[in-house]
């Protein structure tokens, strides 16, 4: 059983926190990871900054722009992540990004480096499923990196079941239309039907809900429909223009996880 599966076996209402590597400053990656875990984050999702992040809204796009200007890139990130496991112990860690930089780096070299530093999973929203199955699945397995796939309200049952069969991590349920950090709330009745439809499928993988979740109310609501939630844009906003970045991250996580 991998670290992701162990987390879902041992806990309920998991909080997955997303932050962009190299933001707010280049060397915040490991201090942030350590602070988030100490404060109660159950899974870490580290964003690899990219100039054209199609699934992300203005907040995460802005953090990527800053991180790239700070000098963050994949070689720098992997060098920083050498200290990952000392900082976060057995907390599952995923990298999230886009296919183009990974292909430029070299897919197998990327997966090997990720495994070497203790990364558990990878989210690439623009990786076509057919390409994953034909070209990359065996390499993911070779290095023990778990692929995480996104599901939207428009995803067919056939595709959902296929994604479920291909994953050994969790399924990322996009809460509604739009990009990360969206402020336009989806229709409540339609969202309820969507979550109920997924639950009724009795999938083998646990589910986390992401996009548009910003506070404890949203987190608790998501946990009523899934095994936890993913929060990114709201955390990144909480790190903006602060003197003590780890302290700001700690306070944010505690505001979500408080009893």
Residue 215 known to be catalytic: no
Distant-in-sequence, close-in-space partners of 160: CB < 8 Å, separation ≥ 6: 151, 171, 198, 201, 203
Active-site hit among 28, 42, 45, 164:
45
Residue 259 in any domain: the answer is no
- Which pLDDT does position 186 carry in this prediction? 55
* Residue 183 scores a pLDDT above 60: no
Rounded Cα–Cα distance for residues 32 and 174 (Å): 25
Tell me the mean pLDDT in the region 155-181. Answer: 86
Rounded Cα–Cα distance for residues 119 and 157 (Å): 30
Residue 130 in any domain: the answer is yes
Residue 56 known to be catalytic: yes
Q: How confident is the model at residue 177 (pLDDT cuts 50, 70, 90)?
A: low
Tell me the mean pLDDT in the region 234-249. Answer: 97
- Which pLDDT does position 190 carry in this prediction? 84
Higher pLDDT, 187 or 197: 197
Place of tokens 């070209």: 135
What's the domain count of the chain? 1
Q: How confident is the model at residue 56 (pLDDT cuts 50, 70, 90)?
A: confident
Active-site hit among 56, 120, 164, 227:
56
The verdict on pTM exceeding 0.85 is yes
CA-to-CA separations, 243 to 5, 24, 86, 237, 249, in angstroms, rounded: 36, 10, 25, 14, 12
Domain that holds residue 216: 3-254
Least confident of 67-71, 148-152, 255-259: 255-259
CATH of the domain at 124: 3.20.20.70
Q: How confident is the model at residue 259 (pLDDT cuts 50, 70, 90)?
A: low
Place of tokens 């709201």: 234
Residue 124 in any domain: the answer is yes
Output the CA torsion 127→21→171→253 (10° steps). Answer: -160
Average pLDDT for the chain = 93
- Which pLDDT does position 181 carry in this prediction? 47
User: Angle, to 10 degrees, between the axis of helix 245-257 and the axis of helix 29-39?
Assistant: 30
Residue 233 in any domain: the answer is yes
Q: How confident is the model at residue 184 (pLDDT cuts 50, 70, 90)?
A: very low
Distant-in-sequence, close-in-space partners of 138: CB < 8 Å, separation ≥ 6: none
Contact 186, 177 (CB under 8 A): yes
Structure tokens at 79: 């060098």
């Amino acid at each position: 059983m991998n670290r992701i599966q162990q987390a879902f076996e041992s806990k309920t209402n998991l909080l997955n926190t997303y932050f962009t590597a190299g933001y707010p400053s280049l060397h915040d990656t490991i201090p942030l990871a350590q602070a988030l875990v100490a404060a109660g984050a159950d899974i870490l999702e580290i964003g690899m900054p990219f100039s054209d992040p199609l699934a992300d809204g203005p907040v995460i796009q802005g953090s990527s722009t800053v991180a790239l200007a700070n000098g963050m890139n994949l070689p720098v990130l992997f060098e920083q992540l050498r200290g990952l496991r000392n900082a976060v112990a057995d907390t599952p860690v995923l990298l999230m990004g886009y296919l183009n930089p990974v292909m430029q780096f070299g897919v197998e070299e990327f997966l090997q480096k990720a495994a070497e530093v203790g990364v558990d999973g990878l989210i690439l929203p623009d990786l076509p499923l057919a390409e994953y199955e034909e070209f990359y699945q065996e390499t993911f397995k070779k290095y023990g990196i778990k692929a995480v796939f996104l599901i939207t309200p428009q995803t067919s049952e056939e595709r959902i079941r296929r994604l479920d069969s291909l994953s050994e991590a969790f399924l990322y349920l996009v809460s509604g239309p739009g990009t990360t950090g969206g402020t336009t709330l989806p229709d409540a009745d339609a969202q309820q039907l969507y979550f109920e439809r997924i639950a009724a499928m009795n999938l083998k993988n646990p589910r986390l809900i992401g996009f548009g979740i910003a506070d404890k109310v949203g987190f608790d609501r998501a946990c009523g429909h899934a095994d936890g939630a993913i929060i990114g844009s709201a955390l990144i906003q909480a790190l903006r223009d602060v003197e003590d970045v780890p302290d700001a991250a700690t306070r944010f996580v505690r505001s979500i996880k408080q009893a």
